[in-house]
Structure 1
């Protein structure tokens, strides 16, 4: 049986979706959280950080040797396939991909705000995000949720997939930092609350280290 080690920083960032997938799958793993100095010490070692960046997933115990996996989305999709959380067929997998790519577009805007040093510009970006930049995608997400399950289930199919994990991770970020969005998209807020109450997800949220993001 494979064993897993997720190597990242002490932050949610690009490692949290993988952690949520592992939590929902009920799989024990080594949650290795490096300091910046510890990362610098391995950055040039391609056997530990193939692309000189984190996260990296180390998989052991497979039938054939498996090199460390870089790139957060590749890690997430590997785990989703391994844990049967990538849909029942190619159609569902494609719908899942669309949802995940939409979340990626949302995070492109979020990262601009996060790294903006000028407070006035940061506030302007936040206002634009709430009023304009996020509107099309978040509205489409609510519509997709309602069409699939009347707004009471999952985004694709009849069980939790990587799409749900990815949207939940996004919802935690945007509803926590921009509260008005919760009232603007109640279907998405209700979905986030249901996900938060899922036993394995709830257990992870309770024990995970407190970090800013």
Structure 2
């Protein structure tokens, strides 16, 4: 039996709801930022109505089996009349879907490709950090060796090229053109992780990476996002992130 998330008989109702902007949302994820954080930022920055649903005691026994890959985040979108509910799994898929809905995916095919290019780079470098650095957490000496390798290789390259391309775009706080896109949100969201990993080397600073930090400043100054980040819920997620990953995330 085909999984409910992949049931193509729901294509028409999915398409119809994808065009609506008066939906409400549920973000099913843990009480940290991590892989569910970008989704929350998109929703908050877009002024969407959303609630966070934390996995309960039955997650491992029951709920995990319902997810198509046994993982969260999962996004639920509910129509304004409450009659239609769609579900999306996997952070990258969720983020791109929401970006299209809230006009964060560029205004033409080329802009979309450029945005995707930046997203691919963000996923590549953060994926390496998460897979390599945090997997070595039980051996601090080995973890420090991995950290240095990451800083000297993929992190340094990521920072260097992003700063260059941002300067070429006018250092205007945006990666693509002069308006907010998913690329800006994604990059701004992951800057605290890269700052944390490369803190000893000081690779990200106003002196070295002014254009990169301008993106973070631009995203962080969105009023609706600022308002959500002042809530106790967000602060709880930040404390969880600090405990679990070693850094709190954006303030």
Report the TM-score when normalising by structure 2: 0.76
1:197 matched to 2:217: no
Of 130, 148, 168, which residue of structure 2 is paired with 1:147? Answer: 168
Aligned counterparts, 1:1-213, within 5 A: 1-35=22-56, 37-40=57-60, 41-45=62-66, 49-61=67-79, 65-111=84-130, 112-116=132-136, 117-148=138-169, 150-179=170-199, 180-183=202-205, 184-207=208-231, 208=234, 209=236, 210=238, 211-212=240-241, 213=245
Task: Name the SS of the counterpart of 1:29 in structure 2.
Answer: strand
Q: Take 1:178 and 1:135, find their aligned partners in 2: how far apart are those partners?
A: 9
Q: Take 2:69 and 2:153, find their aligned partners in 1: how far apart are those partners?
A: 35
Root-mean-square deviation (Å): 2.0
Cα–Cα, structure 1 residues 172 and 160, in superposed 2: closer, same or farther, change >3 Å? same
Cα–Cα, structure 1 residues 119 and 188, in superposed 2: closer, same or farther, change >3 Å? same
Give 5+ residue unaligned stretches, structure 2: 1-21, 246-251
Report the TM-score when normalising by structure 1: 0.89
CA contact (8 A) 1:172 1:192 kept: no
Q: Take 1:50 and 1:131, find their aligned partners in 2: how far apart are those partners?
A: 36
Task: Name the SS of the counterpart of 2:65 in structure 1.
Answer: coil
Q: Take 1:12 and 1:4, find their aligned partners in 2: how far apart are those partners?
A: 17
Task: Name the SS of the counterpart of 1:4 in structure 2.
Answer: strand
Q: Take 1:129 and 1:57, find their aligned partners in 2: how far apart are those partners?
A: 31
Cα–Cα, structure 1 residues 142 and 23, in superposed 2: closer, same or farther, change >3 Å? same
Pair member with larger Rg: 2
Task: Name the SS of the counterpart of 2:143 in structure 1.
Answer: helix
Give 5+ residue unaligned stretches, structure 1: none
Cα–Cα, structure 1 residues 193 and 153, in superposed 2: closer, same or farther, change >3 Å? closer
